[in-house]
Structure 1
Amino acid sequence: MDVETTISKIDLAGQVSFEEAAFLLLYKHIPKRAELIAFSTRLSKARALPLQIVELIKTLRHARPMTVLRTAVSALGAVQEQQADRASRIDPRERLIARIPTIFATHHACRSGAALPVPHAGFGHSKNLLAMLGLAHDDLRVRLTDIGLVTQAEQGTGASAFAARVAVNAGADIFAAITAALGSFDGPGQGGAIAETAAMLKEIGSPDRAKEYVRKHRKKAGEDPRAQHLRAAAEELAAITRRGTTLEILEALHMLGADAGLRGWTVAFYEQLGIPEDLYLPMSAASRITGWLAHIDEETGGRT
């Protein structure tokens, strides 16, 4: 069963947790209750970073979050080669899913001078992610974060997924393949465009300036059906946070036929959650890792 067939089996966003979606992408079927509990437990046990990775992140505290994430993922491969990973019995795919949030949360703490985050064993994936970043992690935000992560989990064979496929096809290991995917995803032609979208929304500044911006830049409509899930999540949070300017700008663009699409509503959603702007891309990578791993499995016939 290929990746697209797996994803199309159900409308994932809003219907399943991130753990259920990740399991589906890795193992090609919806988990039974016992399977989901076991999978979630393994993710929880794999969250803590090896000491070598924590020390590496400390030395890179002034680097860009995506640079640190890419470097740390590559270094995890070296730690495994040295047989120094206490969680080595856990599938490396599951370790990567579990640890990407810990990597960028640890880096964020280092650069902020805060205490290093400790993964919460009793929390699900989304709740733990929010808690490690020091953000509110009530039931509403956890549910909406699940929706945000699931919405972006798999987006077809774009440049980043293709980079991962090329790497494993050449015989590279899974850590090298995900490093390649992260490097590609960081580019402005892929996930890096999220930063450009955030800058665009800042430049517009207010809904009444949207028409002038569209006239000058001739932005074309770019609707994405997946954006509806992030839009609904952002609007639900805005009712609580009262931070609505970005949502109003996006609505104005939509009315002008210049929809900012999935990236625009991703920015709005992360803003409502309180995610720092330079963590928007690592947050998206924490979601996309599941899709990349599914593409790797498809490319290798499951021999990862």
Structure 2
Amino acid sequence: MFNPGLKGVTAAETCLSQINGEKGELYYRDQSVHDLVGRYSFEEISYFFIKGRFPDSNELQSLKKVLIKERSLSSEIKKWIDHLVKKQSITAIIRSAVSFLDDSEDRWPIQTHEAYRLLAKLPTIVAYSYRKKMNLETVEPDHQLGHVENFLYMLFAERKTKEEVQALETYMILTAEHGMNASTFSGRVVTSTQSDIYSGITAAIGALKGPLHGGAPTGVLDYIDEVKQKSVEEVIKAKLANGEKVMGFGHRVYKATDPRAEALKAMLLIIEPKPNWIDFTLKTEKETFQWLSDLKPGRRLYANVEYYAASLMKAIGIPSELFTPIFCCSRIVGWTAHIIEQSRNNTIFRPEAKYMGNK
């Protein structure tokens, strides 16, 4: 049987996440994301994915020490980024920088300390690259701050509010893992050859860089800006007539409300001072859902995670060119957990291709 894009084909067994698209449910291991957000830190969620259980207080402190130790970048990698920053996007720089981090022989099976190293360094790579690209003075990590708060500090050279840190941490937890998506599959395929974790993550970032996978949040802001100039009705009808997608609505997996979107929407409402455009964003969501329901009956095109991810990061002051790089900093958790899982029970991926003749 030929399944284009391997759609509907089960290619691996995993204990990391489960999605019930019909009911709009997402589980990390055996825990609903609704029970995790606001209860655990990003560091604890990372440990949970990689180790299979939540850390006790001593284990959590040990993890934090490791992440703090690994945050800083060497002078060599900074020089490499300086060379790339005028030529490449930040996502491309991350991909190249991860390759540069591989400083030893291939290791098999994959070790957890390598996952922590990548988890710690990616935010620093993003912040350093962004500030270099903007001709701003770079900011060294503050070892007194937690993982997410330090990330924001390195990006903006100032401490963000408790609510802003909480909002970004919520986003990063909710996007840490999401099943066998294209980038995760890419990482597992590379690892299945017994290659190293850095090669696997490089492949994953390369897959995420494609606009069909990692570019959706930016398109949401473009859609909202377009609606401001016209109306929801006019914009949607024009897009559907042209065969275009309405960015931020509908999901390949979820046929009910995306649970991540609901959690991010709640976070958006607690940010102070409240941006004056939030009410318009909420109104646009309701009107868009109604028009899509009328024009595409039976499709159930709810707001997805990208719709409120874009609005949340805009409220924090994060520019759109950082949306995909920040996604990398959260999804590195799922990527590394999948790569470790693959290496523990490995079979090389080797699908068949159907020959169609010389056309």
Identify if the C-alpha distance between structure 1 residues 49 and 90 changes in structure 2 by more than 3 Å, giving closer, same or farther: farther
2:240 is aligned with 1:240: no
Counterparts of 1:163-182 in structure 2, within 5 Å, are 163-182=186-205
Over alpha carbons, which structure has the higher Rg? 2
Contact preservation (8 Å) 2:168, 2:313:
no
Q: Alpha-carbon deviations, 1:140-165, whole Å to 9, x = none?
A: 21122211110111111100000000
The separation in 1 between residues aligned to 2:216 and 2:142, in whole angstroms, is 32
| Structure 1 residue 281, shift from structure 2 partner | 0.5
Moved more, 11-20 or 232-241: 232-241
- Of the three residues 272, 279, 288, the one matched with 1:253 is 288
Large movers: runs of 4+ above 6 Å: none
2:267 is aligned with 1:228: no
- Of the three residues 272, 279, 283, the one matched with 2:326 is 283
Identify if the C-alpha distance between structure 1 residues 253 and 46 changes in structure 2 by more than 3 Å, giving closer, same or farther: same
- Of the three residues 132, 151, 154, the one matched with 1:129 is 151
Q: Which residue of structure 2 lines up, in the alignment, with residue 215 of structure 1? A: 237
The separation in 2 between residues aligned to 1:212 and 1:291, in whole angstroms, is 39
- Of the three residues 59, 64, 70, the one matched with 2:83 is 59
Q: In the alignment, residue 59 of structure 2 is paired with which amino acid?
A: E
- Of the three residues 113, 118, 122, the one matched with 1:91 is 113
Q: In the alignment, residue 143 of structure 1 is paired with which amino acid?
A: Q
Q: Which residue of structure 1 lines up, in the alignment, with residue 350 of structure 2? A: none
Counterparts of 1:1-304 in structure 2, within 5 Å, are 2-4=15-17, 6-11=28-33, 12-62=36-86, 63-77=88-102, 80-81=103-104, 91-134=113-156, 136-205=159-228, 209-218=231-240, 222=250, 223-237=257-271, 240-244=274-278, 245-256=280-291, 257=293, 258-301=301-344
DSSP 3-state at the match of 2:17: helix
The separation in 1 between residues aligned to 2:82 and 2:308, in whole angstroms, is 32
Q: Which residue of structure 2 lines up, in the alignment, with residue 86 of structure 1? A: none
The separation in 1 between residues aligned to 2:277 and 2:344, in whole angstroms, is 46
The separation in 1 between residues aligned to 2:282 and 2:200, in whole angstroms, is 36
% of aligned pairs identical? Answer: 28
| Unmatched segments (≥5 aa) in structure 1 | 83-88
RMSD (Å), alpha carbons: 2.2
DSSP 3-state at the match of 1:226: helix
Q: In the alignment, residue 254 of structure 1 is paired with which amino acid?
A: F
Count of residue correspondences: 294
| Structure 1 residue 235, shift from structure 2 partner | 2.3
The separation in 1 between residues aligned to 2:138 and 2:334, in whole angstroms, is 28
| Unmatched segments (≥5 aa) in structure 2 | 1-13, 19-27, 106-110, 251-256, 294-300, 347-359
Q: Alpha-carbon deviations, 1:264-302, whole Å to 9, x = none?
A: 111111101111110001111110000111111111118
